[in-house]
Structure 1
Amino acid sequence: MPLDLLILGAGWTSSFLLPVCRTRRISFAATTRSGIDNTIKFLFDQDSDDSEPFKVLPDAKTVLITFPITALGGSQRLVQLYKNTRTEKDLNPAFIQLGATSIWGEQGSRQHKDPALKVITPAENKWYDRHSLYNPNERSNAEDELLALSPVTPTTVLDLAGLYGEDRTMRRWVGKVAPTKEVLRNKGSIHMIHGLDVARAIVAVHNDFSRAVGQRWLLTDGRVYDWWDLASAWGSGPLDSTDSEDRGPQAVWVRELMRETGVRALPRSSEILGRALDSREFWETFNITPLKGRMED
């Protein structure tokens, strides 16, 4: 019998997804490049038509692709190579691709002098949902290619906002995101989703794939966060220094910026924060609600 779920690329998201699968008795297998921790060793070459690497993969009803595909023809190649190497020939697996919400509203990026950071061209002050026009790139083109395989092969794309949870906390980034007052002045909105809710979303799609076929979804935790609000609350000190006076200069900068720009309270309204993402349709379609509805850490 085929497994319920095959996870291609057991990375950070899997630390949340695997426990959810176990709790809900969803059978699964996962791959990594090295095959560590009881995973299957697998590496996808986007430009290769060699089916041999796919023969070690088990049959599954749903295949989750966690890594980005960027090569022309890469999405179709992965689907066909997997389907052509199945032992159960009548199996018609469904495919979920994880993507990013940055295709909506962000007009482009250039490299910061610090290689770890990007400078994003500010977006318009407007709302975006999954039906809004987006800025195509190699990754979104590959997603379009995957979606075009539906309905013959059921496919869907979950474009995720910034990920947080466990050891991944945005508090660590305040000092890098806002190293000076002038940089902080230009910071607007940020959208996030907790790893647990990503896992719950994946399982919801797997359990009712007919609602997702051929669709690209936009996923956030339902909030538009304000970088001024976060920088003021957290500062750039140690993670355990919330009640300490030594939290860095960001809170003072925010207070000064509020006076200079006429902002009377935080968070600022979505109308002045830049882009605002509306993810309601996914949660309404699958009748679930984010459990982590506010970024606390």
Structure 2
Amino acid sequence: MAGKVDLLILGAGWTSTFLAPLCASRGVSHAATTRTGRDGTLPFDFDPASDAPAPFRALPAARAVLVAFPLRAPGAAARLVRLYRATHGDAGPETLFVALGSTGIWDGSPTMQPDTFAWTDRHSPVDPTNARAAAEEELLALSPGTARTTVLDLSGLWGGARQPRNWVARVAASKDALRAKGSIHMVHGLDVARAVLAVAAHPERAAGQRWLLTDTHVYDWWDWAAGWGSEEQQRWVQELMDEAGVRALPRPPEMLGRAMDSVEFWRTFGLAPLKGRLGED
């Protein structure tokens, strides 16, 4: 495909519903792919085991390439970068490859030890058995020698049809289920879009780095159930607070089992979350 765009989105999905309008409003040229080429996107289906260059030749050159679908298979990250660069000599070595990941790579890591509380940040050890974490390490290892790469590990996504208040009934289906729930971390789709454009605009800050992205809040499932739950769920919250000796909600991070710190991302790129409190869009 002829031409060059500022941003190529591989795998247009929920995130692109926020990212595409933001690109348009800022004058950032972009193109996007889906497997079928629906809704004016380019057809592209990445096979992590194939070395065929043909699917990549139809893609435009881009200053930044966003990989919005999960990378899990060993070798997939390096293969994607290699095939794109091999078929886009005009992309140049300055192209930044941005992968969207998940904060789930820190679940089960040694950061949290029994009876010990510690904050998780982007420098915390990841779960070595997590396939997405391994794929991220592979991608980041390409920078700076082979290509400029970075990863945005996203916490719980909300916005549009994804409204946290609708999750309480399913997650807190019983008092015992609610008892087991601690913290949850969120980030709005608009702030994800702003983060993508920020790293694309400042590749020198982003390259070679893994970033953790939340809205800088630690939320408490009990607090959600108290505010958004049914009358029965609200009663369970009161009973659980009495049993645990909790005097007010939200519970402090030390009682929630996990707390994530994403302040370094926002500070590095001179931003603050626009959607720093949950609510209806």
Q: TM-score range by the shorter chain?
A: over 0.9
**What displacement does 1:30 show?**
0.1
Distance 2:71 2:153 in 1: 13
Q: 2:233 maps to what in 1?
A: 250
Q: 1:132 maps to what in 2?
A: 124
Q: 1:275 maps to what in 2?
A: 258
Distance 1:159 1:91 in 2: 24
Q: Which deviates the most, 178-187 or 219-228?
A: 178-187
Q: Structure 1's 87 and 38: CA in aligned 2 closer, same or farther, altered over 3 A?
A: farther
Contact preservation (8 Å) 1:123, 1:275: no
Contact preservation (8 Å) 2:109, 2:126: no
Contact preservation (8 Å) 2:155, 2:186: yes
> TM-score if structure 1 supplies the norm length?
0.89
Q: 1:239 maps to what in 2?
A: none
**What displacement does 1:91 show?**
5.3
**What displacement does 1:138 show?**
1.1
**What displacement does 1:209 show?**
0.8
Match of 1:224 among 199, 218, 221: 218
Q: Does 1:183 align with 2:185?
A: no
**What displacement does 1:141 show?**
0.6
Q: 2:105 maps to what in 1?
A: 103
**What displacement does 1:71 show?**
1.1
Distance 1:103 1:87 in 2: 34
Q: 1:34 maps to what in 2?
A: 36
Kindly provide the amino acid, as one letter, of the partner of residue 274 in structure 1.
G
Contact preservation (8 Å) 1:107, 1:123: no
Match of 2:196 among 197, 202, 225: 202
Unpaired stretches in structure 2, ≥5 consecutive residues: none
Deviations 1:44-65 (A, max 9, x none): 0000001111111011010000
**SS, match of residue 102 in structure 1:** helix
Distance 1:87 1:126 in 2: 46
Distance 1:82 1:286 in 2: 27
Distance 1:269 1:262 in 2: 12
Aligned length: 274
Distance 1:162 1:88 in 2: 36
Q: 1:234 maps to what in 2?
A: 228
Distance 1:218 1:90 in 2: 28
Q: 2:275 maps to what in 1?
A: 292
Q: 1:240 maps to what in 2?
A: none
> TM-score if structure 2 supplies the norm length?
0.94
Q: Does 1:212 align with 2:206?
A: yes
Q: Does 1:145 align with 2:147?
A: no
Contact preservation (8 Å) 1:99, 1:158: yes
Runs of at least 4 residues off by over 3 Å: 89-92, 105-108, 122-125
**What displacement does 1:89 show?**
6.2
**SS, match of residue 72 in structure 1:** coil
Match of 1:86 among 88, 100, 112: 88
Distance 2:195 2:166 in 1: 26
Cα RMSD (Å):
1.7
**What displacement does 1:201 show?**
0.3
**What displacement does 1:187 show?**
0.6
**What displacement does 1:170 show?**
1.4
**What displacement does 1:105 show?**
3.7
Kindly provide the amino acid, as one letter, of the partner of residue 126 in structure 1.
A
Kindly provide the amino acid, as one letter, of the partner of residue 258 in structure 1.
M
